[in-house]
Each structure stands twice: as structure tokens, then as C-alpha cells.
Amino acid sequence: MAAVTIIGGHGKVALRLARILADSGHDVTSWIRRGDQCADIESVGATPAVLDVESMSVADMASALAGVDVVVWSAGAGGGSPERTLAVDRDAAIRSMDGAAQAGSPLYVMVSYFGARLDHGVPQDNPFHTYAEAKAAADAHLRASALRWVVLGPSALSDEPGTGLIETGSGVESGTVSRDDVATVAAHVVDHPDLAGSTIEFNNGDTPIAEALSPA
């Protein structure tokens, strides 16, 4: 079983993912910003680590990630100011990648979004623009790094119960996907490091997750 660190561990997808991984026997550590979130982390079988990614240096990240097999980035500014969005979704994410590389190059799984790319096309006057810019820069840095990586691109998130069924691949357009199923996809990636080097954009669909993500 793997030692997995989830950065942004108190998020809705992250809590679901921690439970799946812990139930499967993985050793899960979830980074959170506040001590009052520890009980929620422990309730899903993970170990909380109270760390502020905005203030951590690359060296801090490397030290905290020593011995980790898989890093999952699921943190975000959550629609805060443009400055904080860039500070968390771009700058802190990039420092975590550089820290992970120094710590021994674990598999790094980035939770991004469907359509994230440098030429995202979001107008500058759209409130989503800064987030799109931040995620594009972070994803590009990850792909150019020496890390083994997977970028997950879920469509618009819902709290509908998970179905275990998705659609992915060329020609698939953005739709919706449940947070349950995003967590299940991320857990599948943790268990299948051979998916390294993949960008997986997906919606809920008709194909079982394991089948949809199996090699062609």
C-alpha cells in the first residue's frame, strides 16, 4: 500500500478520496489549514497535518513530503480574491511540485478542471479568468517537470450520488460529474501509477471507471 498525501484535505472531493484510500489500506495524510478540521480528517481514516501552503517554501514542502509515494493536489483558494487565487492555485501548487521533486519524485496527481489549458479562452473580464490562468500555469509546470504526473480534468461538480460510470477520451465535451466519482477516479489513479503522463478529462457517463481508464 502507498503513503499518500492529499494537499487541500478538507475539500469535498478530498474527504471522499481520503476515505476510499484509507478503506483500501493506504496510509493517508491530509494537509489542512486549520486545527479545527482535524476531527473531520480523522473521521475518514486519514492523519491530519496542519500546514499552510501559502506560507510554505519549496524546502518546507520537500520536508513535509519526504517518504511519500503519491501526492494529490486538491487545494484551492475557493473563489477568493484574484491575488489569493494566484497565490494558492498557481504559486503554492508549483512550490509543492518542486518540493515533491526534491523529496524523491512521487507520483503527483493534480485535480484540475475540464478544459484547463494555456489557451483556455476565458475572457479577462470573466471572474473565472484568474482561476483559469492559475490552473493553466500550474498544470503546464507539472507536465514540464521531472515528476511522474497525472492531471485530472473533471467537468462541473455535483453532489449527486456516485455512479461509478464516466466518459472520457477524444470527442468528449464538458458536462457534469459527481464529487463521489471524481474521488473514485483519483483513487483509481493512485492504484494505477502506470497512468502517469496522462491528462484525464471526464464526465459522468456509461462506462465503468476501471474500464474507461484501462489502456486502449
pLDDT for 145: 97
Question: Among 198, 115, 118, 116, which residue's Cα sits nearest to residue 151?
Answer: 198
Instruction: Report the length, in residues, of the chain.
Output: 216
- Stretches in the chain below the pLDDT threshold 50: none
Task: Supply the pLDDT for residue 197.
Answer: 97
> φ and ψ at 130, to 5 degrees?
-65, -40
pTM score, whole prediction = 0.95
Q: Can you list the domains of the chain with their CATH numbers? A: 3-212 (3.40.50.720)
Q: What was the pLDDT predicted at 216?
A: 64
Query: What is the C-alpha to C-alpha distance for residues 202 and 94, in angstroms, rounded to an integer?
Result: 24
Record the cell numbers describing residue 175, joined without a space: 458536462
